[in-house]
Amino acid sequence: MGSMSYNSYEDLLGNKPIDEPRRMRVICIGAGVSGILTAIRFPREIPNLDLVVYEKNSDVGGTWLENCYPGVRCDIPSAGYQFTFEDNPAWTEFYASGEEIQAYWTRTARKYGVYKYCQFNHRFEGARWNEMQGQWEVTLHNNVTGQPVIDTADFVISATGLLNRREYPKIPGLETFTGPKMHTARWDSNIELENKRIALIGAGSTGIQILPSIQPIVQRVDHYVRGQNWISPLGIGGEELIRRKNQTGNFKHSPEELWEFRHTPGTYHAFRHRIEGDINQAPYAVFTDHPAQEALHALTLQSMKAKLESKPRVAEALTPQWPVGCKRLTPGPGYLEACCKSNVDYINTPIKSIGPDSIETADGTIRETDVIICATGFNVTRTGGPQWIGRGGATLDTVWNPDPVAYISLFPPEMPNMFIYFGPNGGPLTGSTMHMLEWSCEYMIKTIQKCQREYIRSISASKRAITGFQDHCEKFFDRTVFMKECPSWFKRGQAKGRQVTSWPGSGVHARQALLNPRWEDFDYEYLDSVADIPLGWMGNGMTVAQVQGTKTTDYLDPPIVPQYAAVEQDSSSNGNGIC
């Protein structure tokens, strides 16, 4: 039985079984990890669904498709950087390379039939809430035809992530440089680096990964660093490194261990439990003056001093005054060692200007260079991009001034029927972001199912709920090192301000908060057919099974654990990415 259209309460009472869901159209913007997850879970758990995933690139993967610079990898152990329902016992390294991670996402997308929901080469340009229709009107640009595309949906999901608007440094003369120059998020593998003089601008997580990867092959690296950074001796989940007495910051799984993972029942499952137990630890180290914070600070400082012993000037310039964790902590295997190499010049003097073949710093020194690499990150302000226009003409930029807020990170103000993956305060303090996305996805599914079931036209978080979550975050983070003065993407690149990136607690804490939605925290509008009598969704007193004459005793069956069946699919028509 398909979803029917009802013109009156009498139609509902006469024709609608109580469990017949409304037909819903959902648009997801972005086919990165969140978009892949949406295209797997939504069709399997939401009946009567029309879903389309629009993506500006030519393939899935998002960040892992776009970032293919030398040394790119995740600082979460591979065993914790995968979907809960899709184990990969074949990860070759403890901290997997970007290439291997992207291969996992494309393989998973093919396995579960994601590609059939994707419209590639469509750049999102904006969305407007139509109050009369109770729908979103989404505007896109077809990169292939050059034509505008307009689509409508009952619900819209922003799955574009936070690291997608690359940012070049604002340095006078950058455009006059005649040699090759590139941003790390638009890596050009055709540019020759061997035996070249390289200017590496930036020492965030990207610059920290690139330096040890290119240092052995280039003639010289002028590493221009604007600020300071704590370089952790251990990555997230580093307890496994300690257990294995590994000092390199990463390791390859042996052929024997990989064989065990694949062929001995329970081996990989037990390994994954152990690793995720490590990364799910309580976030004590972020609390100001907590013994765990003091121990981490002492360990990190000792490690940095030891590794930079031959370059005390670099140690002095690099070591921050703020506590460890105020700014995103990066493990950076090999980075400090690379800074000590004879062909690396660590430069913390500000850049004055860039010429056709050189860079001049504020002290008047001019250094000739062949290639400029901008490891300068992304715009993390969450504002200034494509416009979202919600209820009453309110824009997302307006309601997010001065700070971006969203109820439980998913529901921004004045934006009915809109979800955001990794919205404000949507990243776990400890634990895997992948799992946080899964728990967010489950919440979205429950919300849409409720609107289908009860013929709800629009749902939005109440002002009281949004303010309450915002106040809770503020009180929580006041006790943490994030509120110390340091430039951080946690605070949208500012030294001072609110922590608007992390969830107020661990990932498993977020799971508990998201398991059971508080429906009393929302405002509702009902479809005209049930607006006057909200319980009209109860319908004609029967179920779909009774109307169809099918099985009505499903309550006697054992509980069903969701299993996501694989789908054979040909994705050969899709592009091979941008790198």
Domain boundaries, the chain: 23-165+380-526, 174-232+289-322+324-374
According to the model, what pLDDT value does residue 578 have? 57
Integer Cα distance of 205 and 107 in angstroms: 27
According to the model, what pLDDT value does residue 136 have? 98
According to the model, what pLDDT value does residue 575 have? 46
According to the model, what pLDDT value does residue 235 have? 78
State pTM to two decimals: 0.94
Backbone phi, psi, residue 453, to 5°: -65, -40
Integer Cα distance of 59 and 67 in angstroms: 13
Contact 97, 209 (CB under 8 A): no
Backbone phi, psi, residue 62, to 5°: 60, -120
According to the model, what pLDDT value does residue 344 have? 97
According to the model, what pLDDT value does residue 224 have? 97
**Nearest alpha-carbon partner for 117 in 56, 3, 47, 26:** 26
* 68 CB burial (10 A radius; 0-12, 13-18, 19+): buried
What's the CATH superfamily of 174-232+289-322+324-374? FAD/NAD(P)-binding domain (3.50.50.60)
Contact 507, 517 (CB under 8 A): no
According to the model, what pLDDT value does residue 78 have? 95
According to the model, what pLDDT value does residue 118 have? 98
Please check whether the domain covering 23-165+380-526 is classified as CATH 3.50.50.60: yes
Integer Cα distance of 440 and 147 in angstroms: 33
What's the token pair of residue 350?
């500000």
For residue 480, the cross-strand partners are: 287
Low-confidence ranges of the chain (pLDDT < 50): 1-2, 572-577
**Who contacts 334 (Cβ-Cβ below 8 Å, separation ≥6)?**
212, 248, 249
User: In sequence order, what DSSP letters do the residues of 469-533 get, joined into one string?
Assistant: HHHHHHHHHTTBGGGSS--BGGGTTBSSS---SB-SS-HHHHHHHHHS--GGGEEEEE-HHHHSS
According to the model, what pLDDT value does residue 1 have? 41
The letter for the amino acid at 108 is T
Domains 23-165+380-526 and 174-232+289-322+324-374 fall in the same CATH topology: yes
For residue 112, the cross-strand partners are: 567
